[in-house]
Amino acid sequence: MDIASIIGLLLGTSLLIIAIAIAPGASFGAFIDYPSVMVVIGGSVAAIMICFPLKSVLNTARVVKNVFFNRQEEFRGLIDQLVSLAETARRDGLLALEGRIEELTNPFIILGVQMAVDGTRPEVIEDILRTELSAVATRHRNGKSVLDQLGRFAPAFGMIGTLMGLIIMLGNMDDPSAIGPGMAVALTTTLYGAITANLIVLPMAEKLGHINKHEIVVMEIIVRGVMSIQAGENPRVIEQKLGTFIPPKNRPTDEAA
């Protein structure tokens, strides 16, 4: 579970609620307007459905789940695992890795090791692994792009709702007492759009981008590690090579430059 995402969402929501509660003369009822919700949420979803295939729109819930429930693999542990596999391969041969496949949990490592054990040519192994890496990156970009567009549309439909409210208000100028409440309702739609975009949708899109970058680096480490193992390189050399993906201050003392 991603604690930072949950804390951020709860903190932002709480601060908005507290600000309304302590503002002089403010009431929660003034910030509740169902037509505004329909315009902002309904309009944004409708625009998204025009932009993307239905399958992509329906997958948005699964994509959003990754913001709160994701397990990012630690670089150090991953490198240690690849070095351990390299030691086994160097000591007992590539075929000995077949007995260690059951202990592996990362499907990308399993794919690479299995191909190496099967005697697949190095260029074929690298081509398949990098094709898989590219496919994963594309899927992640597609999921993020839905939220990016939703973050663009929400403020726009907030402004559309505000314009609708102003038109309705100006059509009732014969009642001066209705101008103030009418203006408040019109501006509520803009508020909804801004909150939806800047507190919820765009931060989620950025978190997905961060998760994607981390996973791509993990897969790149695996590609280089598997290719080095297949080439029979020294485990210490492999460790130093893959250690470049770790910030110097986080590397073991004997690796620090």
Lowest mean pLDDT of 22-31, 155-164, 187-196, name the range. Answer: 22-31
The answer to whether residue 251 scores a pLDDT higher than 70 is no
pLDDT for the residue numbered 253: 56
The answer to whether residue 254 scores a pLDDT higher than 80 is no
Judge residue 159's burial from the number of C-beta atoms within 10 Å of its C-beta, 0-12 exposed, 13-18 middle, 19 or more buried. middle
Buried b (16+ CB within 10 A) or exposed e, 204-229: bbebbeebbeebeebbebbbbbbbbb
| Residues sharing a CB contact under 8 Å with residue 84, sequence separation 6 or more, in sequence order | none
CA distances from 175 to 167, 178, 182, 219, 251 (A): 14, 6, 11, 65, 72
Amino acid at 205: A
pLDDT for the residue numbered 199: 94
Instruction: Express as a percent the part of the chain with pLDDT over 70.
Output: 95
pLDDT for the residue numbered 208: 92
pTM of the model: 0.82
User: What mean pLDDT comes out for the span 19-39?
Assistant: 85
Distance, CA of 150 to CA of 198 (rounded, Å): 11
pLDDT band at 172 (very low <50, low <70, confident <90, very high): confident
Give the single-character DSSP code of 95: G
